[in-house]
Structure 1
Amino acid sequence: MKKLLAIIGVLLVLLVAVLAIKTLVYPFTKVNTGTAAYENFPVSDSALQRFAGGIRIPTVSNADYSQFNYGPITQFASYLRQAYPNVYAATESYTVNDHGIVIHWKGRNSSLKPVLFLSHYDVVPPGEYEGTDSGQIIFSPKDKPQPPVTAIQDKWTHYPFSGAVTDGRIYGRGTLDMKNMLFSLMEAVNNLISRQYTPERDVYLAFGFDEEVGGTHGAKMIAEDFKAKGIHFDAVYDEGGIVSSKGSLSGINATVALIGCAEKGFWSARVKVKGLGGHSSMPPLQSAIGKAAVIMQRLESEQMKPMIIPVIDQFFKNVGGAMDFKGRLAISNQWLLKGTLIKTLTANHTTNALVRTTTALTMMKGSDASNVLAPIVDFVVNFRILPGNPVAEVKQHLQNACRGFDVEIEDVGAPREASRISDTNSQGYRVMEKTIKQYFPDAIVTPYLTIGGTDGYKYEIVSDHVYRFNPVLINNNEQQTIHNNNEYISISNYSRMIRYFETLIKNYDSKQ
């Protein structure tokens, strides 16, 4: 027995040694865990005014297209043309489906595949506002900046469509999602044109008007128009990842630039559960709502199997060097500790979304009276689908959860497969990586999985390389203002965005 215990002890020591050595020699990307001082770039008052003017136009989209208010949409397109006459004079522009805006800037070499930059100019509703400066224009860009936001405001500090420029910030709905990208692109092209710069290859800008409600009338039709014209892009750049400031990503002691190389798909389904209706004084042993509760409990407790897809595996390899030893140990020894790593990831709702198709119960309807049993109870479940899980597999998963009950399942909107994973070895990715490092020198640049949906997915029919990245340095609290109260972007972030896009366009075919 002693000999057996000794052998076991030696084996355990060897195992620990192997784990430690593999952790120490694992090729984690080298990271700078310090914090760099970022350069502040000048931005003219006129550029800020142009951006603020666009924020003041309330381009709120509506999922019910019969109720869609196209007045502000039309006004915005006219405003853009008036604000950037030099861009429109030096390029070709046209619309798709009346409101989708396309700008074509011709390059020197038409034999090269063009590049495409996307944004959208619709916004979500602003929510309630109880302030007193309704519509008041505030413009004081040289005010002393406020300290970082530490919590979400319970209301807007400025009218949501004021475009207020004050305290080192631009306030209003759309300042982070996504008029910031649209105007920084327009400013970048405007600046380059004013310097008589001509890109080597053609550059396209495409701006949708209904991204927030699915993009089916905007980006989808623009992409189909490109395909019909036989245009195939070397790279497509859209919103998605951000530069997450140091300390914002749990367990990662570094600033991280997250490039969305893929995005999750989605499917919403309405499940109608049938039972015995009637008066509540003589209820059946199991009501329709009780049956629905069983199904919903199954959906939350028996979720789809988690897995580490290649883009997330690469993400961990890149950020692991900024994690503690425990994290590096699990990442570098997945041959033994993969189950532990996945268990840790699925225990947190944020990281859980990176490794599995998520399940969200969002709506439910039963009886309209407290003493009436509904013969049919329906609920809606939303799945955000991980690449590698086809929609058909998700549908079978829902069928399995409904086993033993009389149900009807119907789509709520069209299901969408997860996107392809774009290559990190392409020119489009390498140029973006180079440009990010110029403006965010201490950041880890890494591929990532975009959790939410973007218009970028629709352009897979015209490009093999679709990347999702919004070049803003923000913390968790600032990120939470997107679709929330008090949305704003700092002037320093906006001015850096303009420089970023100028440089990205110039870097694309740079010989240096």
Structure 2
Amino acid sequence: MKMKKILAALFILLLILILVLVVRTVTYKFGKVTRNVDDKELVNTAPSEQSVRRFVGGIRIPTISNEVYEETDFKPFDEFMKYLADSYPEVYRVMDADTINTYGLVFHWKGRNSDLKPILFLSHYDVVPVVGYDPSTATVADTVFRFHDKPLPPIGTYSEKWDYPPFSGAVAGGRIYGRGTLDMKCMLFSLMEGADNLIAEGFQPERDIWFAFGQDEEVSGRQGAFNIAGYFKQKGLRFSAVYDEGGIIAAPGSAIESIQEPLALVGVGEKGFLTLRLTIKGMGGHSSMPPSKSSLVYAAEIIEKLNDNQFPAEIISPIAAFFDNVGGEMGFFSRMAIANQWLLEPLLLKTMEKSPASNALVRTTTAITMAKGSDAANVLASEAEVTVNFRILPGESVAGVIEHVKKLCEGYDVAIHVVSEREPSSISPENVRGFGIIKEEMAKIYPAAIVTSYITIGGTDSYKYQTVSDDIYRFLPICLNQYEQRTIHNENEYISLENFGKMQWYFKELMKNY
């Protein structure tokens, strides 16, 4: 009888718990998505042929950055700088143009009211190399612009996975092909087109507008963005908002399968990084007389420890806001987990951990990228090396990650060398003009999109500008499906004419209406 009463009481408590979960789910205030009735863009954003031609000319110049800055081939960078000046004479006439550290480009458009804080737009014009491509083998036909109805024949030496030569700027099938079309000349040319069009309309901004274009973002930005940010700081400038690359519009289903609406992912912060080289000592010698454990075996054990002891998952503030914004479009059980994180947060985190992309949003990640032992098959190396890369979640630190590694390496003879490091960024606010105007302009060209805060997983130049602004937003208004997202730094990079046109319109309106 007593057991029945206990079971009955437990059943009642369970019902109450279920009722609480359901009520909280139904009444939870998820972000509201305001849309047009017909979900059609309100403006014409088709790019002009002139803007496409100017963009294509910039894609044709192979401004490839080099890890060793002094070994960079700077001839294309000189050519690119001249090309910009020749292509946008009115921008150079109206805006004050300057160079920082030879190749960093800075433009200043004076506004009517010097009391207002200025705004800053970033981009970079260096690009990553193309595997298998040798620019020196390209022929003149590579640099001839035309709207292609038929595929170009293979010209120059390049990977067969490219539909068109990677520095041809071929325009075909509603797309512009080439290295830098997505990362990152698209933003640079959109800004120049926007300014050029506004100048032609007789527009003068109310507040000062600045552009800053780096030459080495792909290899750390130490020579470009770092020096430009120092230049701004020396001038005593504080920006009302800074805009850079980072987030995109993820096509329906490409970010979260259950969400069949475009997700405009605005990076309000970015992860830091730390690369460590671990040198593990052991007994070396001839492979015919191996010890019970060699240095490489010790290295394998450390690799296993690093892989098995991942950093704990957690929901930081931008991801909590992300859930609040997108949750209303998700299924009932997902909404229940978001609305009842006091109880169901572990389940929510388990769901995020299932995908590499979403897992990276909720923890500092550990990636074993390189390992080295002996150079000969019959030699036991006295030292083995392991390289590990961490992407650090905001709120954690480089020092904390190093301490984590030291603890895992206790009991082994290990030397830890820091190859590269950068702390996570600060988090920019959402309740300010800098973020709000993104929503305003997006509603006109992507009325169905859900605009939400996000954490940028990769690094950008914007990190260097934290010294001159608290409000930094990483976002390109380009809608990409999963395949298109994978072409960044990869084969067959392209941007659709539709995306290029919308990007031009967006940045023009941002400058005009801020």
In the alignment, which residue of structure 2 is the partner of 1:180?
Answer: 186
In the alignment, which residue of structure 1 is the partner of 2:285?
Answer: 278
- Conserved? CA contact 2:60–2:143, under 8 Å: no
| Displacement after TM superposition at 1:42 (Å) | 3.0
Matched residue type, 2:377: S
SS of 1:13 mapped into structure 2: helix
SS of 1:293 mapped into structure 2: helix
Alpha-carbon distance change, 144 to 234 in structure 1, aligned in 2, over 3 angstroms: farther
> For residues 138 and 240 of structure 2, what CA distance do their matches in structure 1 show?
49
Matched residue type, 1:487: E
Tell me the TM-score normalized by structure 1.
0.94
Matched residue type, 1:2: K
Alpha-carbon distance change, 129 to 32 in structure 1, aligned in 2, over 3 angstroms: farther
- Conserved? CA contact 1:471–1:497, under 8 Å: yes
Instruction: Report how many residues are paired.
Output: 499
In the alignment, which residue of structure 2 is the partner of 1:15?
Answer: 17
Matched residue type, 1:288: S
Alpha-carbon distance change, 144 to 316 in structure 1, aligned in 2, over 3 angstroms: farther
SS of 1:110 mapped into structure 2: coil
Within a 5 Å distance, the mapping from 1:66-215 to structure 2 comes to: 66-128=70-132, 135=142, 137-140=144-147, 155-215=161-221
> For residues 133 and 216 of structure 2, what CA distance do their matches in structure 1 show?
23
Matched residue type, 1:353: A
In the alignment, which residue of structure 2 is the partner of 1:57?
Answer: 61
> For residues 319 and 40 of structure 2, what CA distance do their matches in structure 1 show?
29
SS of 1:412 mapped into structure 2: strand
Deviations 1:214-269 (A, max 9, x none): 00000010000100111111100000000111111123232110000000000000
Percentage of identical aligned residues: 52
Matched residue type, 2:25: T
2:355 aligns with one of 331, 348, 353: 348
In the alignment, which residue of structure 1 is the partner of 2:154?
Answer: none
Deviations 1:375-404 (A, max 9, x none): 000011000000011111111011111111
In the alignment, which residue of structure 1 is the partner of 2:252?
Answer: 246
> For residues 46 and 367 of structure 2, what CA distance do their matches in structure 1 show?
44
The farther-off stretch of 32-41 and 74-83 is 32-41
Matched residue type, 1:478: E
| Displacement after TM superposition at 1:463 (Å) | 0.4
2:477 aligns with one of 466, 471, 475: 471
| Displacement after TM superposition at 1:494 (Å) | 0.5
Matched residue type, 1:348: S
In the alignment, which residue of structure 2 is the partner of 1:150?
Answer: none
> For residues 321 and 402 of structure 2, what CA distance do their matches in structure 1 show?
29
- Conserved? CA contact 1:129–1:155, under 8 Å: no
> For residues 57 and 44 of structure 1, what CA distance do their matches in structure 2 show?
21
SS of 1:447 mapped into structure 2: strand
Tell me the TM-score normalized by structure 2.
0.94
Within a 5 Å distance, the mapping from 1:14-53 to structure 2 comes to: 14-31=16-33, 36-38=39-41, 41-53=45-57
| Displacement after TM superposition at 1:435 (Å) | 1.2
> For residues 237 and 143 of structure 2, what CA distance do their matches in structure 1 show?
44
> For residues 331 and 150 of structure 2, what CA distance do their matches in structure 1 show?
37
> For residues 304 and 432 of structure 1, what CA distance do their matches in structure 2 show?
33
The farther-off stretch of 222-231 and 31-40 is 31-40
- Conserved? CA contact 1:32–1:254, under 8 Å: no
- Conserved? CA contact 2:56–2:145, under 8 Å: no
Specify every segment of 5 or more residues in structure 1 that has no aligned partner in the other structure, as ranges: 146-152
> For residues 44 and 444 of structure 1, what CA distance do their matches in structure 2 show?
28
Within a 5 Å distance, the mapping from 1:90-489 to structure 2 comes to: 90-128=94-132, 135=142, 137-140=144-147, 155-250=161-256, 251-413=258-420, 415-489=421-495
> For residues 260 and 154 of structure 1, what CA distance do their matches in structure 2 show?
34
| Displacement after TM superposition at 1:129 (Å) | 5.1
> For residues 160 and 12 of structure 2, what CA distance do their matches in structure 1 show?
60
SS of 2:13 mapped into structure 1: helix
SS of 1:369 mapped into structure 2: coil
SS of 1:205 mapped into structure 2: strand
- Conserved? CA contact 1:253–1:323, under 8 Å: no
> For residues 263 and 5 of structure 2, what CA distance do their matches in structure 1 show?
51
SS of 1:354 mapped into structure 2: coil
| Displacement after TM superposition at 1:137 (Å) | 2.5
Specify every segment of 5 or more residues in structure 2 that has no aligned partner in the other structure, as ranges: 152-158
- Conserved? CA contact 2:123–2:213, under 8 Å: yes
